[in-house]
Chains A and B, each alone.
Chain A
Amino acid sequence: QKEVEQNSGPLSVPEGAIASLNCTYSDRGSQSFFWYRQYSGKSPELIMFIYSNGDKEDGRFTAQLNKASQYVSLLIRDSQPSDSATYLCAVRVDNTGKLIFGQGTTLQVKP
């Protein structure tokens, strides 16, 4: 079983819709959770992080964490074509800088 799992997609949504990206993790001791966006040929860009159960909102982005279900999600409201990218879920399982990444979900927002 992979430590961090994401559906590779592609997830296709129309412009203006809500995109929902999901991630599950296997280590119950995981402490913090991150979402990165990566455009083709570029490096990952941090867009959200969440440490506690519940929702965290930042502009059009909402991260949701459910530690009991070992599940973290990212919602993108009012999706734009510029949101088309690969979204990487990352989990920190200890007190070092090691992040474990999922394989990423490709999001396509169609005009």
Chain B
Amino acid sequence: KAGVTQTPRYLIKTRGQQVTLSCSPISGHRSVSWYQQTPGQGLQFLFEYFSETQRNKGNFPGRFSGRQFSNSRSEMNVSTLELGDSALYLCASSFSDRLDEQYFGPGTRLTVT
């Protein structure tokens, strides 16, 4: 079974631009969660989608948004990029929204210059 895939793997953007990242979960998985990982803050929860509905959102500004499609694929968008948005963005999928374990994709490395 294929794992979680994320595209693109690497991205360089300029301050003020916007970016869209994509995540395809493991086949059959319906829950997709997004995390930001930085050396200073570690892994921080951004939001989680289940059956196209956002079920939870972390403490990030409104510039960070996401959505989930009917095939469970998910996208996250960051508008008006700031230097501090440079990070590894990780997507994780799980079978359902309850106690099931989450599996991470390879991540998208975003650099904002």
Contact = CB atoms under 8 A, between A and B. Distances in A.
Given A45-B104, A46-B103, A99-B92, 7 more contacts: A34-B101, A43-B106, A49-B101, A92-B99, A94-B56, A95-B98, A97-B48
A44 B90 contact: yes
**Which 3 A-B pairs have CB atoms at the shortest separation, nearest pair first?**
A97-B48, A101-B43, A96-B56
* Most chain A beta-carbon neighbours within 10 Å: one of B48, B94, B102, B103: B102
Nearest to A88: B43
Contacts of B48: 96-98
Contacts of B43: 44, 88, 90, 99, 101
A88 B35 CA distance: 14
Interface in B32-57: 32-33, 35, 42-45, 48, 50, 55-56
B26 to A, nearest CB: 12
B97 interface: yes
15 contacts: A43-B106, A44-B43, A46-B103, A46-B104, A95-B97, A96-B48, A96-B56, A97-B48, A97-B56, A97-B92, A97-B102, A99-B43, A101-B42, A102-B42, A104-B42
Nearest to B109: A41
A32 interface: yes
A28 to B, nearest CB: 17
A90 B33 CA distance: 14
Interface residues of B, number: 27
A80 interface: no
A31 interface: yes
Interface of A: 31-32, 34, 36, 42-46, 49, 51, 88, 90, 92, 94-104
Contact of B102 (A42, A46, A94): A46
A43 B101 contact: no
A99 B45 contact: yes
B102 A34 contact: yes
A23 B113 CA distance: 36
